Structure 1
Amino acid sequence: MSFSRRQVLAGLAGVGVLGLGGTAVRYWLGRPHDLATHDYQLIAAPLDVELVAGQPSTLWAYGGQAPGVELRCRQGDRLRVRFINQLSEPTTIHWHGIRLPIDMDGVPYISQLPVRPGEHFDYDFVCPDAGSFWYHPHTASSEQLGRGLVGPLVVEEREGNAFRHERTLCLKTWAVDEQGAFMPLLVPREAARAGTRGRLATVNGQPRPVVDLPAGEVVRLRLLNVDSNITYTLNLPAAEARIYALDGNPVAPRGIPAKGLRLGPGMRVDLALRVPASGELALRDGPLRLATLRAVGAPAEASDWPAPLPANPIAEPDLQRAELLRFNFEWAASLADPADPVYWQINGKAWQSPAPGCAAQPIARLRLGGHYLFELRNLSQYLHPIHLHGMTFKVVWSDRQVIEPWYTDTYLLGKNETARIALVADNPGLWMFHCHVVDHMETGLMAAIEVA
């Protein structure tokens, strides 16, 4: 694949200084006046925020807020984003969960060159599926995601849906101390285990916020885990709520499991919540309160639950003729070289981040249009949210739980679990296949799968 470097910006005329809730914002996102070239202009830049009251933290942010500005488009429409890098180091944007052409996937030296400081890159692709997605770098991921480069992307249903109200809630725990200073974002001994945990849990960048919702209405809550390493166990005690979509893909509406819903890094869930006529509900991660959901306004008359969301146009894999491929996700810390920490591997191979002139060696080669069954084996006691770029797969079996098959781009593989997923290899390219615990990915738990 050949690349051409995008033009270096000849200045940022028109980029002003805005005020956002009392926070100093250096750069902006907005609809451009000229829609001929792009729909959004999205700038990555430093941002000063008080995550800890009275203690400023310098984050890295998209569009002047962290998590980043919510981008929206309609299913089947083209999304055009001019990305401008005003950070001090190269970066990219990966559009997590979107089935798009390989040259828009945002993986450095695999699908594009890194966007260097002061440069821009035009992302331009059609969004074939409706749902809740997100965007983040695929460059120095522990540092860049950890400092705040994450943001939601909502693709609205082509023909609409029965929800009249919705809110997007991004879950992220920050690795900052009591003075707001960043702590180490990747600790080797933690990367070899469950991953480095932050200490300050937030929803939409705020610790334990109060979220106002219309009393008596059924509201669509889009919950996105944009954390680097933490799996949340979500519950809404005493609430009437149903799951309508997992990772952007509709499911038959169902209740939240009694033990809570586990949402690994990169995963999303769309809930229908019937807001009470008055009072408050707690959104919790296990026993920890993440946010308070407060009913406001005159209560609406009781209404039926919305109809199920329409299915996305995903090819159905034929399990009878699918080729079986096996992938072992293994702990390899005992073999690690202190000078080159590699703690994880897939089928005995640890990913080495590519650089200019480095050719990726695919762990598997799939025939374009072929049907495949992947067997995923977790040979460790730690959770691995396994994510595949460029395609959507169907979860069909597990030896640890009863599976009601659904489509997704990320499967949370439990400790010592074996699961099977099925897909049609319908998108040509060299696609990343990795654990979305960023510490695990950064220390070996990633591979490339070629479709040709």
Structure 2
Amino acid sequence: MDRRQFLKTSSALLAFGSLPKIVLAKPSDGFDYELVVAPADVRIAPHGNTPAWCFNGHFPAPVIRAKQHQPVRIRVVNKLTEPTTIHWHGLRIPIAMDGVPFLSQRPIMPGETFDYEFTPPDAGTFWYHPHMNSVEQLGKGLVGALIVDEAVDPGFDADVVMGLKNWHIRDDGSFTALTTPRNAFRMGTPGRLMTVNGKTAPTYYVPTGGAIRARLVNIDNTVTYDISGQGAELTIVSIDGNPIARPRPLEQHLMGPGMRLDVGFIAPHQAGQTITIYHKHDVLVTFKTVGADKQRQQLPSLPLNPIPSPDLDNAEVIKFAFEWDASINPIEKNGEVNYRFWTINRKAWEGMSAGDIPAPLAKLKRGKSYIFELANLTQYHHPIHLHGHTFTVLASNKQTIEPFHSDTVLLGQNEIARIAFVADNPGRWMYHCHVIEHLKTGLMGYIEVA
């Protein structure tokens, strides 16, 4: 990282209220970042430490900053007692870097390292997490933000990254159950302590009269956040890592697990003023203005990402139904129940291993355009995420849609949405609900592009 990029990164990280300790590999190592995956005691709850699993020994995890069209190299060191991987959520990168065990890479075993290297084609707000033992590894803290800066700096005065997570912990810091069958069958097991970057309702200081970019990243296993705000004219400038063609006022926006939202605003032109962002009626974060007036009058514009345009007139339509599994759950040889609550096209994900890869949900021809019709035939929200591609959300039977690009679409009760994309990235790509308990109990599969 050059000095300018390092200073910009450090300034953005200071918005957390405390500076996460990013561990940079030595230049001679040839890596931009090193992520050490290991247990660590962290202070989240008011009256005791939590035995979390962390990147580089702390929470929040290091914010990784890459740059559009430039390669980034990340070495992952596994110091857990179980295998892991890292998936770079939302990035259109080669399949070998996607971080799905067996489907795209061999798991990183305890004591091993794995080197990820890729060149992000798109700028925006993304995140990273394991794709093994997901309920526990994500639930205990292995989640972090990945920011891809634009090739040309758009010129915001402050860039604040905020990871939203409900922790399954008691006041003394000990963990409660990360999942229960009763809740996995429904919306998922809720956490008890709502946090932003590991803090409850933090306050961040932003320059008076400055142009502010607030990046919200839903790194929670379960919660769909209902975002609103007051104190300034808040504008949605980007959804799920992709700038929107026509920024619009933030009135209310639902963010399912895995989803992101970039909100821009001109801070009040008087020091000491506050701007608040809410989840429903609960305060998520407060911004307070400090310093001399920057006298900004309008937000910088963000360039659109170079997403291929699907040929809608000639696109093949494939339908997917997301439903409950009404069958009797099988009992394993050890007597444990193998819970299977959810299905895609009446097929529940049963897992995979090095020698047992199930058939794909669909086989797509490379370079061809497709329209997926996604039908949520249940009463619960499902944020449906597709790896390796960015799609265009076209329409919904429940809401008026102005088409936008995304990698995760939130389906409400009995909602049917249509998404379109060009299948231009070869490989076997996971395709699943990002409520982690849903994917672990059946709501997952993959598509193959060849």
- Secondary structure at the counterpart of residue 439 of structure 1: helix
Give CA-to-partner distance per residue, 1:241-296, whole Å, 9 cap, x none.
101110111103434453x2101100001111222223222221000111221112
Give CA-to-partner distance per residue, 1:117-160, whole Å, 9 cap, x none.
11100001111100000000000001000000000000011122
Could you tell me which residue of structure 2 aligns to residue 317 of structure 1?
310
Which range moved further: 424-433 or 208-217?
A: 208-217
Contact 1:192/1:333 (CA < 8 Å) preserved in 2? no
Query: Aligned in 2, Cα 1:370/1:287: closer, same or farther, shift over 3 Å?
Result: same
Query: Aligned in 2, Cα 1:406/1:174: closer, same or farther, shift over 3 Å?
Result: same
Q: Distance in 1 between matches of 2:413 and 2:206?
A: 37
Q: Distance in 2 between matches of 1:279 and 1:163?
A: 19
Could you tell me which residue of structure 2 aligns to residue 166 of structure 1?
159
Could you tell me which residue of structure 2 aligns to residue 10 of structure 1?
none
Could you tell me which residue of structure 2 aligns to residue 350 of structure 1?
348
Query: Aligned in 2, Cα 1:197/1:256: closer, same or farther, shift over 3 Å?
Result: farther
Map 1:99-138 → 2, pairs under 5 A: 99-138=92-131
Q: CA deviation at 1:300?
A: 2.3
Of 31, 40, 52, 1:47 maps to: 40
- Secondary structure at the counterpart of residue 236 of structure 1: strand
Q: Distance in 2 between matches of 1:205 and 1:35?
A: 33
Q: CA deviation at 1:305?
A: 2.3
Identity %: 46
Q: Distance in 2 between matches of 1:222 and 1:185?
A: 26
Of 183, 197, 200, 2:193 maps to: 200
Of 285, 298, 303, 1:291 maps to: 285
Contact 2:266/2:296 (CA < 8 Å) preserved in 1? no
Contact 2:128/2:143 (CA < 8 Å) preserved in 1? yes
Query: Aligned in 2, Cα 1:416/1:450: closer, same or farther, shift over 3 Å?
Result: same
Q: Distance in 1 between matches of 2:299 and 2:377?
A: 41
Q: CA deviation at 1:415?
A: 0.8
Q: CA deviation at 1:336?
A: 3.2
Could you tell me which residue of structure 2 aligns to residue 268 of structure 1?
260
Contact 1:66/1:204 (CA < 8 Å) preserved in 2? yes
Could you tell me which residue of structure 1 aligns to residue 416 of structure 2?
418
Give CA-to-partner distance per residue, 1:52-103, whole Å, 9 cap, x none.
1231111111123223100011101111101001112111000000011111
Q: Distance in 1 between matches of 2:43 and 2:61?
A: 16
Q: CA deviation at 1:41?
A: 1.0
Of 363, 367, 370, 1:369 maps to: 367
For 1:155, the aligned partner's letter is V
Q: Distance in 1 between matches of 2:74 and 2:296?
A: 40
Q: Distance in 2 between matches of 1:187 and 1:102?
A: 33
- Secondary structure at the counterpart of residue 290 of structure 1: strand
Could you tell me which residue of structure 2 aligns to residue 189 of structure 1?
182
- Secondary structure at the counterpart of residue 190 of structure 1: helix
For 1:118, the aligned partner's letter is G
For 2:111, the aligned partner's letter is G
Contact 2:234/2:250 (CA < 8 Å) preserved in 1? no
Of 397, 400, 403, 1:399 maps to: 397
Structure 2 unaligned runs (5+)? 1-15, 332-336
Q: Distance in 1 between matches of 2:313 and 2:245?
A: 25
Map 1:203-282 → 2, pairs under 5 A: 203-258=196-251, 260-276=252-268, 277=270, 278-282=272-276
Q: Distance in 2 between matches of 1:382 and 1:292?
A: 30
Contact 1:29/1:43 (CA < 8 Å) preserved in 2? no
For 1:295, the aligned partner's letter is T
Give CA-to-partner distance per residue, 1:277-321, whole Å, 9 cap, x none.
2322222100011122111222322422222x1111111001100
For 2:418, the aligned partner's letter is R
Q: Distance in 1 between matches of 2:347 and 2:69?
A: 38
Contact 1:371/1:424 (CA < 8 Å) preserved in 2? yes
Give CA-to-partner distance per residue, 1:149-175, whole Å, 9 cap, x none.
000000011122132321101101100
Q: Distance in 1 between matches of 2:113 and 2:411?
A: 37
Q: Distance in 2 between matches of 1:178 and 1:41?
A: 32
Query: Aligned in 2, Cα 1:275/1:335: closer, same or farther, shift over 3 Å?
Result: farther
Of 58, 61, 65, 1:65 maps to: 58
For 2:141, the aligned partner's letter is G
Contact 1:364/1:448 (CA < 8 Å) preserved in 2? yes
Q: Distance in 2 between matches of 1:180 and 1:161?
A: 41
Q: Distance in 2 between matches of 1:422 and 1:67?
A: 34
For 1:432, the aligned partner's letter is M
Q: CA deviation at 1:361?
A: 0.9
Q: Distance in 2 between matches of 1:334 and 1:284?
A: 40
Which range moved further: 102-111 or 59-68?
A: 59-68
Q: Distance in 2 between matches of 1:344 and 1:434?
A: 11
- Secondary structure at the counterpart of residue 43 of structure 1: strand
- Secondary structure at the counterpart of residue 103 of structure 1: helix
Q: Distance in 1 between matches of 2:303 and 2:24?
A: 29
For 2:436, the aligned partner's letter is V
Q: Distance in 1 between matches of 2:221 and 2:128?
A: 13
Number of residue pairs the alignment of both structures matches: 426
Contact 1:242/1:253 (CA < 8 Å) preserved in 2? no
Q: Distance in 2 between matches of 1:281 and 1:189?
A: 38
Q: CA deviation at 1:36?
A: 5.3
What TM-score, normalized to structure 2?
0.92
Q: CA deviation at 1:180?
A: 1.0
- Secondary structure at the counterpart of residue 165 of structure 2: strand
Contact 2:88/2:99 (CA < 8 Å) preserved in 1? yes
For 2:68, the aligned partner's letter is Q
